[in-house]
Chain A
């Protein structure tokens, strides 16, 4: 194998590493949030509601929360009715709860299954389609 081929292989490896590293960092951040959510699920309720729960962190001055996230959650809630429980948390009113759950920005939504296990976290706006897709797998 000549030096040129070696260099190409090395650079290919480096490119793959950068891409994998970026995806891994994103995955790691989300996993960390999910673990925190799992450990702190009883900070939200004493008894599990036995149905999927959408935990929605927001603040009054969050523009995308008002214009996009809130309507999306309303639509999901209307579609699923009693099959889904939505818990909205104002991160300003309950900063400790936001901190405990590792929320770094709003909107952030968590989806918990019927056993209270956090399965998904969405940093930033989550569209109706995405939320419904995630809820279907719970």
Chain B
């Protein structure tokens, strides 16, 4: 069955991941649970608005100045939204743990988000997307998309399209 893919700007996704990594590491270094909670809130807002949480920085600041070039690929946006939502859940759990004084658990969850975001940003593999496609294989309601043709579930699609 052929599915209609959309244009997804992977530069926006990557910028989002890099900012999440940076802020989380900064939150850890400065021991600022509030900063981790801020990241969680932005990711939550992004999930609700169906956009990358920190995508506005890319859209309004980095892209117009040409500092980061668009990387528009034919892809499904839904798995990326799901991945961000998973990140939001982990970040929320981590922030709650930190505010409750469970530092090891809290920072552990924050570092897990950092590791998964780094795997996506530097390795091109989106674990949340892979989970989405895995749910899709089991026909779970709300998980209807298939990976783009020739793309391993979770991997970044190969073919670049319009810039």
Contacts and interface: CB of A to CB of B under 8 A. Distances in A.
A15 interface: yes
B114 to A, nearest CB: 8
A133 to B, nearest CB: 14
Contact of A15 (B28, B150, B151, B158): B28
A20 interface: no
B115 A8 contact: no
Interface residues of A, number: 17
A64 B152 contact: yes
User: For chain A, what secondary structure do more than half of its interface residues adopt (helix, strand, loop), or is it mixed?
Assistant: helix
Given A11-B30, A68-B158, A127-B158, A18 B152 contact: no
A67 interface: yes
Contacts of A71: 150
Given A18-B111, A22-B115, A127-B158, A11 B29 contact: yes
A111 to B, nearest CB: 18
Given A63-B152, A64-B155, A125-B152, A11 B115 contact: no
Interface in B18-63: 25, 28-31
Contacts, number: 34
Contact-residue size bin, chain B (C-beta under 8 Å from the other chain): 10 to 19
A63 to B, nearest CB: 7
B155 A68 contact: yes
A18 B110 CA distance: 13
Interface of B: 25, 28-31, 111, 115, 118, 125, 149-152, 155, 158
Interface of A: 7-8, 11-12, 14-15, 18-19, 22, 63-64, 67-68, 71, 124-125, 127
Given A12-B29, A18-B111, A127-B158, 18 more contacts: A8-B29, A8-B30, A11-B28, A11-B29, A11-B31, A14-B28, A15-B25, A15-B28, A15-B29, A22-B115, A63-B152, A64-B152, A67-B151, A67-B152, A68-B150, A68-B152, A68-B158, A71-B150
